[in-house]
Amino acid sequence: MKLSEYFLPLIKENPQEAQIVSHRLMLRAGMIRQLNSGIYNWLPLGLNVLKKVENIVREEMDKIANEILMPTMQPAELWQESGRYEAYGKEMLRIKDRHDRDMLFGPTAEEVVTDMFRGGCKSYKDLPKVLYNIQWKFRDEVRPRFGVMRGREFFMKDSYSFDIDEEAAKVTYFKHHAAYLKIFERMGMKAIPVRANTGPIGGDLSHEFHIVANTGESALYYTDDYSYAMADEMHIPEKAPTGVKEARGIEVGHIFYFGTKYTDAMKVKVQGKDGKELVPHMGSYGIGVSRVVAAIIEASHDDNGIIWPEHVAPYRVGLINIKPGDAACDKICNEAYERLPSCLYDDKEGSAGAKFAAMDLIGLPWQIAVGPRLAANGNVELKNRKTGEKQELSLEAAIGKLYS
Ligand code: 5CA
337-347: pLDDT as tens digits: 999 999 999 99
Best residue for ligand 1 mutational test, from 291, 296, 298 (most atoms within 8 Å of Cβ): 291
**Cβ of 301 less than 6 Å from ligand 1:** no
CA dihedral 284, 54, 119, 63 (to 10 degrees): -80
Each residue of 141-155: pLDDT tens digit? 999 999 999 999 999
Each residue of 184-206: pLDDT tens digit? 999 999 999 998 877 777 777 99
pLDDT > 90 fraction of the chain, expressed in percent and rounded: 90
Of the pLDDT bands very low, low, confident and very high (cuts 50, 70, 90), residue 136 is very high
Q: Is residue 121 packed enough to be buried (19+ CB in 10 Å), middle (13-18) or exposed (0-12)?
A: middle
Residue with more model confidence, 123 or 243: 123
* pLDDT value at residue 235: 53
Q: Is the pLDDT of residue 238 over 70?
A: no
Element (H, E) at 88: none
Q: Is residue 103 packed enough to be buried (19+ CB in 10 Å), middle (13-18) or exposed (0-12)?
A: middle
Q: Which residues pair with 207 in a beta bridge?
A: 195, 255
* pLDDT value at residue 89: 95
pLDDT mean over 32-55? 98
Element (H, E) at 267: none
* pLDDT value at residue 232: 76
| CB-CB contact of 270 with 121 (8 Å) | yes
- Mapped onto helix, strand or coil, the DSSP state of residue 6 is coil
Looking at ligand 1, which atom is closest to the CA of residue 139? 25
* The pTM of the whole model exceeds 0.85: yes
Q: Is residue 12 packed enough to be buried (19+ CB in 10 Å), middle (13-18) or exposed (0-12)?
A: exposed
R_g over Cα of the chain? 24
Of the pLDDT bands very low, low, confident and very high (cuts 50, 70, 90), residue 236 is low
Distance 354 CA to ligand 1 centre (A): 38
**Cβ of 316 less than 6 Å from ligand 1:** no
| CB-CB contact of 272 with 164 (8 Å) | yes
Each residue of 245-260: pLDDT tens digit? 899 999 999 999 999 9
Q: Is the pLDDT of residue 293 over 90?
A: yes
* pLDDT value at residue 229: 86
Strand-strand pairing, 343-346 and 317-321: parallel
CB neighbour list of residue 127: distance below 8 Å, 6 or more residues apart: 121, 162, 163, 164, 168, 270, 280
Residue with more model confidence, 290 or 233: 290
- Mapped onto helix, strand or coil, the DSSP state of residue 320 is strand
* pLDDT value at residue 204: 79
| CB-CB contact of 79 with 88 (8 Å) | yes
Mean residue pLDDT of the chain comes to 95
The contacts found for 48-51 with CB under 8 angstroms, 24 or more apart, are 48/314, 48/315, 49/293, 49/296, 49/308, 49/312, 49/313, 49/314, 50/155, 50/289, 50/290, 50/293
295 DSSP assignment: H
Question: Of 104-108, 227-231, 308-312, where does mean pLDDT reach its minimum?
Answer: 227-231
| CB-CB contact of 321 with 367 (8 Å) | no
Each residue of 349-363: pLDDT tens digit? 999 999 999 999 999
* pLDDT value at residue 43: 98
The contacts found for 118-127 with CB under 8 angstroms, 24 or more apart, are 118/266, 118/267, 118/268, 121/162, 121/270, 121/280, 122/270, 122/271, 123/270, 123/271, 124/164, 124/270, 124/271, 124/272, 124/273, 124/278, 126/270, 127/162, 127/163, 127/164, 127/168, 127/270, 127/280
* pLDDT value at residue 50: 99
**Cβ of 151 less than 6 Å from ligand 1:** yes
d(Cα 160, Cα 131) in Å, to the nearest integer? Answer: 5
Distance 60 CA to ligand 1 centre (A): 19
Strand-strand pairing, 317-321 and 366-370: parallel
Backbone angles phi and psi of 288, in degrees to 5: -80, 90
* pLDDT value at residue 233: 61
Backbone angles phi and psi of 310, in degrees to 5: -50, -45
Side chain identity at residue 130, one-letter code: V
* pLDDT value at residue 202: 72
Distance 243 CA to ligand 1 centre (A): 31
**Cβ of 139 less than 6 Å from ligand 1:** yes
Looking at ligand 1, which atom is closest to the CA of residue 160? 4
d(Cα 136, Cα 157) in Å, to the nearest integer? Answer: 9
d(Cα 222, Cα 194) in Å, to the nearest integer? Answer: 8
| CB-CB contact of 319 with 336 (8 Å) | yes
Question: Of 80-89, 197-206, 327-336, where does mean pLDDT reach its minimum?
Answer: 197-206
d(Cα 364, Cα 387) in Å, to the nearest integer? Answer: 12
* pLDDT value at residue 312: 98
* pLDDT value at residue 234: 58
